[in-house]
Amino acid sequence: MNKINVAILGATGAVGQRFVHLLEGHPWFEVTALTGSDRTVGGTYGDGCRWVLKEPMPSYARDMPVMETAPGLDASLVFSALPADIAREAEPAFAAAGHGVCTNASAHRMAPDVPLLIPEVNPEHSALIELQRRNRGWSGFIATNPNCTTVTFTIPLKALDSAFGLKRALVVSMQALSGAGYPGVASLDALANVIPYIGGEEAKMESEPLKLLGHLNGQGVVPHPASLSAHANRVAVSDGHTVCVSAEFEGNPGPEQAEAALRDFRRPAAVADLPSAPCQTIELRPEQDRPQPRLDRDAGKGLTTVVGRVRPDPLFGLKFVCLSHNTIRGAAGGSVLNAELLVAQGWVK
């Protein structure tokens, strides 16, 4: 097939750079435009971008001009790495102008007619695009991926919810510095320290999973009836969010049953054929001290969720630890996977 032209909005920031990196040599997508802030517009990407990834800047991007973030780019799909406040206005403008917007921004995630998608969890929620187009008169669309911590624990909760039925869960995150963007957290605050607070994070961790695990009816998504509680912490890790989970399920499955459900979790058939889909959605580690961000964040090129320490919980029945790469699975990689799903489902022409 011919490649689909895509643009990256907010390409000079930390998440934007990850899009630039992940779309290098993509089999379906051809990056035709990069946008940035006023400071960088007009120059080349190589000049305007303070590259912070350890992977080198792809050569395709170096000489591309940085353009203004405004509709009319030569791109059927746009990937948005915009800050939430800018995304709030800009993304609808792009969708109205006929672009399909796959966004990592939080601005529209919880809107009733906007799909919040993890391909392995709720690919059918893309049907909300029809409602969205009807409601808003758009020819394009907005589709969102969840918060970087939400996705880490929602994937294993999906596997267990499918098997047993989730009743409630308490999640405590230890989040990497890259989740705060660049320059992000001051090194004096981060080094050899824990910051037990991330603005807005706990509310997202308590609401987004219920939409992701919910089911469609004619009007939209009926949220999952489970109850969630979240604590969010920042730790001195560069990449990879670790989450401790205590969870209660119908019928109180034991650790062996839970491990079997995690191991046997089958993603929807449509997902297996997406070019970025990892071999394993969930990797179950047998060691008692895994997952660890240093060792496990790159599993499945950063798209596999690693789970370990499945054990009994005196209060909830089950405890475990899960981890995924926050700027890949939790941000740009999640958006790219969503875009691939939407192409496969026929939402992008």
Residue 260, both tokens: 């079997």
Residue of 153, 328, 324 whose CA lies nearest to 244: 153
59 in contact with its own copies (CB under 8 A): no
CA-wise closest residue to 118 among 161, 148, 86, 75: 148
Q: At closest approach, how far in Å is the CB of 173 from its own copies?
A: 10
- CA 196/CA 215 separation, integer angstroms: 33
224 binds its own copies (CB under 8 A): no
Distance of CA 198 to the CA centre of its chain: 17
336 binds its own copies (CB under 8 A): no
174 binds its own copies (CB under 8 A): yes
CB hemisphere CA count around 313 (13 angstroms): 21
* 229 contacts its own copies (rule: CB under 8 A): yes
Question: Shortest gap between Cβ of 184 and its own copies (angstroms)?
Answer: 6
CB of 290 to its own copies, least distance (A): 8
Which 310-329 positions form the footprint of its own copies (CB under 8 A)?
313-316, 319, 321
Q: How far apart are the first and last CA of the chain?
A: 12
CB-nearer residue toward its own copies: 314 or 346: 314
Q: CA 200 to CA 232: how far, in whole Å?
A: 9
Q: Which amino acid is at 165?
A: G
Q: Pick the binder of its own copies from 9, 177, 213, 348 (CB under 8 A).
A: 177
Beta-sheet pairing, 305-313 with 215-217 = unpaired
One character per residue 124-163, x = contact with its own copies (rule: CB under 8 A): ----------------------------------------
Q: Residues interacting with its own copies, by CB under 8 A?
A: 52, 54, 168, 170, 172, 174, 177-178, 182-197, 206, 227-229, 231, 233, 235-238, 242, 244, 246, 288-295, 298, 308-309, 313-316, 319, 321
